[in-house]
Structure 1
Amino acid sequence: MASKSTTGNPVLETIKTIFWALLIAGVFRTLFFQPFWIPSGSMKETLLVGDFLFVNKMAYGYSYASCPSIRLGAVGLDVDAKDICGFMDGDNTRILGSEPERGDVVVFRHPVSGVDYIKRLVGLPGDKIQMKDSVLYINGTAVGLVDDGEFTEAMERQGPQGSYPRCENGSVGEGAACVKSRQIETLPGGVSHKILNIGLQATDNTGVYHVPEGHFFFMGDNRDNSTDSRVPQTAGGVGYVPFENLIGRADRIMFSSAGRSMLFFWTWRGDRFFKAIE
């Protein structure tokens, strides 16, 4: 006699499958790599609006900030990283911690708002940082700068937010050329990267910032269009970022789309797929 096969409750099996899939994805995202879309132009031209990358969480070890924040406004879900891994918060240390290097492009958690930012690390603990006439000084010495022509892009809405770029050549019309001066900056230690300038503003001439122990100083490569460590947290900026707030290092762009949605395949930037971040 043939034995009767038994099957479980299909609804229960589906729930179990979804649970395990979410658990595995959560562990992977917490321990290894976190996806990150570039939402603004603060890191142009190193990173463009619409670039998609994975953040290497193994680079600096783990802290409470390594846990993901889950925010789904449509269903009222707002789970902060501190709600999951708050037991690791407060002592500014990391598990299997490794110090970042000057010049790294880092994703970190804003010390006040908890929002994820991506900037370049220019100041290490104990450094003295200052801007003079748009030139970065580290411990009293100007970084290396070489003029590198211009960066040109179209004056049009960019990314899901639909924001327009800022231009050095003034207010230009829709579709016109938006131009910024470009230089190659070389930091102590030898890391070279491109930076953009639009014009003199308050953050191009600053006092001296003394980076505290256990903290880091970050700046955007698009120097005149970046909210970063040059502005203190009390004034809406980033200020000094604690070691425990680092999430990981950005090493490579995986995909890039110039349109309002990644589904608009005609806006994909094929030359930026798997592009190393310098």
Structure 2
Amino acid sequence: MWKMTGEAMAPALDSNACKAARLLDPKAEPPVHGDVVVFKHPVKLDTPMVFRVIALGGDTVQMVQGKILLNGQALPQSPIAPLHRNVLANPHHRCGRTADRDGSCLVDRYVETLPNGRAYEILDLGWESLDNTASLEVPMNHLFVLGDHRDNSADSRLPHSSGGLGFVPIGNVTAIFDDL
């Protein structure tokens, strides 16, 4: 059972959410695009992390204006109803818009779909510096992972030197959430 402590994987795994994950041997069952995996932080090996697999070894990935280009193709994002958040009730919540006096705000929400058909919700607070990245080739036996709450996530878009994950060695994966 995993308890989320941050908002990086909201709305699929919101802060304080508890969810069961299945242990995984990545050599026997390698992760695929769209899996939500638990892994050891590439630098702080005693720190477990949870993120969604976007790209595998050999893939190229880039963020352009908040959209993912995977192997040169933009992943479709379809808007759905905004998500209601309350920054007073949960200080982990962030809003792209100004919160009302009662702390409530709306966050833009989309369904993003990978080429293998896996679809999931993402949150977008508007323009952020990580909405644009260089084109990156994922090294073999590594993963490129992103949080579903794109503007509240220090993920593979950031190198280790900037507090991010960089590419994650596939051997660091320890578990998977089967239903996310």
Place the TM-score, normalised by the shorter chain, in its bin: over 0.9
Contact 1:157–1:164 at 8 Å: present in 2 too? no
- Per the TM alignment, residue 155 of structure 1 is displaced from its structure 2 partner at its CA by 1.9
Q: Which amino acid aligns with 1:183?
A: Y
Q: Which amino acid aligns with 1:39?
A: T
Contact 1:217–1:241 at 8 Å: present in 2 too? yes
Q: After the TM superposition, which segments of 4 or more aligned residues of structure 1 sit over 6 Å from their partners?
A: none
Query: Which residue of structure 1 aligns with residue 8 of structure 2?
Result: 42
2:33 matched to 1:105?
Answer: no
Contact 2:7–2:15 at 8 Å: present in 1 too? yes
Query: Which residue of structure 2 aligns with residue 133 of structure 1?
Result: 65
The normalised TM-score by structure 2 is: 0.94
Percentage identity across paired residues of the two chains: 32
Query: Which residue of structure 2 aligns with residue 169 of structure 1?
Result: 97
C-alpha separation in 2, matches of 1:119 and 1:164 = 17
Q: Secondary structure at the match of 1:181?
A: strand
Bigger helix fraction: 1
Query: Which residue of structure 2 aligns with residue 150 of structure 1?
Result: 82
Q: Secondary structure at the match of 1:234?
A: helix
Q: Secondary structure at the match of 1:244?
A: helix
C-alpha separation in 1, matches of 2:148 and 2:92 = 17
Unmatched tracts of structure 1, length 5 or more = 1-34, 63-93, 252-276
Contact 2:123–2:149 at 8 Å: present in 1 too? yes
Contact 2:85–2:95 at 8 Å: present in 1 too? no
Q: Secondary structure at the match of 1:224?
A: helix
For residues 22-101 of structure 1, the aligned pairs below 5 Å read 35-57=1-23, 59=24, 61=25, 94=27, 97-101=28-32
Bigger strand fraction: 2
The normalised TM-score by structure 1 is: 0.62
Q: Compute the RMSD of aligned alpha carbons.
A: 1.4
Q: Which amino acid aligns with 2:39?
A: F
Larger radius of gyration: 1
For residues 198-237 of structure 1, the aligned pairs below 5 Å read 198-237=125-164
Q: Secondary structure at the match of 1:203?
A: helix
C-alpha separation in 2, matches of 1:241 and 1:188 = 21
Alignment: residue pair count: 179
Contact 1:143–1:187 at 8 Å: present in 2 too? yes
Q: Deviations over 1:52-95 (max 9, x none)?
A: 122211x3x17xxxxxxxxxxxxxxxxxxxxxxxxxxxxxxx4x
Query: Which residue of structure 2 aligns with residue 123 of structure 1?
Result: 55
- Per the TM alignment, residue 104 of structure 1 is displaced from its structure 2 partner at its CA by 0.5
Contact 1:155–1:172 at 8 Å: present in 2 too? no
Q: Deviations over 1:209-236 (max 9, x none)?
A: 1100000000000010011000011111
Contact 2:7–2:92 at 8 Å: present in 1 too? no
For residues 180-195 of structure 1, the aligned pairs below 5 Å read 180-195=107-122
**Higher RCO structure, 1 or 2 (CA under 8 Å, sep 6+):** 2
Contact 2:6–2:92 at 8 Å: present in 1 too? no
C-alpha separation in 2, matches of 1:111 and 1:245 = 7
